[in-house]
Amino acid sequence: MSQKRVLLIIPAYNEERNIEKTIGQILSFPPQEGFSLDYLVINDGSRDRTGQICHQHGYPCVDLVQNLGIGGAVQTGYLFAARQGYDVAVQFDGDGQHDIGSLNTLVAPILSGDADFCVGSRFMDGTSQFKSTALRQAGIRYLSALLRLLRRLRISDPTSGFRAAGASAIAYLAEHYPVDYPEPESLILLDKRGFRITEVPVNMFARNAGKSSIDWKRSIYYMFKVSLAMLCACMGEEE
């Protein structure tokens, strides 16, 4: 049986303080028996030295000619993965929050053929080092409940950006990926298309440096917008 190919998609926007550490973590990850591992940084029009650092160190890096936001950046990675025929694509944040040590757990359901899409959850077994505010946890619980209500989908961490997609899901996401705060909405789109979605516990760290893409003052707007997007995705036409 030929070895499976896994691609880490690393979206990075103004991550000059984190990107070296993130890639260092990946490079120190030992070779695996079941799959070969590549990575690709998507520099989302950073205004700092993120792109320069990547090129200096020879990290494979796509420089988006203008900022597209997290959705457009991740989708570029899926486009690349689809074109290059990868078996699995894993979204892996450039800010160093995701733990490469959880990679095997995350890709296992896809490599075994049990799922098409796998979400890495911070909350499943309580071992994750990630600490979040009560407000954010309440928001995540709300989105989780909304997912269950709309699609009967049981995902404890719908906003997790540490996720893995199999070949068929890669092909779909390369064509259809929401633009802003895309994680919960994309789960609905995938579920509607009949992709099998599962969830596994993963470890995440607290952010090394830089600001989260969602500061709490904007969380009410975020919740409203994501809820609306989820409802629209649910009601949208089948393609």
24/217 Cα distance (integer angstroms): 33
135/158 Cα distance (integer angstroms): 15
In whole angstroms, the minimum distance from the beta carbon of 177 to another protein comes to: 10
Size of the site for another protein (CB under 8 A): 15
In whole angstroms, the minimum distance from the beta carbon of 63 to another protein comes to: 6
Q: Which is nearer to another protein, 58 or 126 (CB)?
A: 58
Q: Which is nearer to another protein, 64 or 146 (CB)?
A: 64
In whole angstroms, the minimum distance from the beta carbon of 238 to another protein comes to: 19
100/6 Cα distance (integer angstroms): 13
From residue 97, alpha-carbon distances to 21, 42, 218, 221, 239 in Å are: 11, 16, 21, 24, 34
164/200 Cα distance (integer angstroms): 11
Which candidate, 156, 157, 196, 158, places its Cα nearest to that of 178? 158
Contacts (CB under 8 A) with another protein, residues 56-85: 60-66, 68, 72, 75-76, 79-80, 83
Task: Indicate whether 9 belongs to the interface with another protein (CB under 8 A).
Answer: no
Beta bridge mates, 163: 91, 119
How many CB atoms neighbour CB 49 within 10 A? 15
In whole angstroms, the minimum distance from the beta carbon of 9 to another protein comes to: 13
Q: Which is nearer to another protein, 72 or 201 (CB)?
A: 72
Cα angle 16-18-23, degrees, rounded to a multiple of 5: 105
Q: Which is nearer to another protein, 62 or 89 (CB)?
A: 62
In whole angstroms, the minimum distance from the beta carbon of 62 to another protein comes to: 4
Q: Which is nearer to another protein, 76 or 97 (CB)?
A: 76
Q: Which is nearer to another protein, 68 or 143 (CB)?
A: 68
Q: Which is nearer to another protein, 72 or 161 (CB)?
A: 72
Buried b (16+ CB within 10 A) or exposed e, 203-223: bbeeeeebeeeeeeeebeebb
Virtual CA dihedral for 22, 24, 25, 28, nearest 10 degrees? 160
In whole angstroms, the minimum distance from the beta carbon of 178 to another protein comes to: 11
In whole angstroms, the minimum distance from the beta carbon of 134 to another protein comes to: 35
Contacts (CB under 8 A) with another protein, residues 106-145: none
Binding mask 166-185 for another protein (x = CB under 8 A): -------------x------
**Residues composing the chain:** 239
Query: Which residues contact another protein (rule: CB under 8 A)?
Result: 60-66, 68, 72, 75-76, 79-80, 83, 179
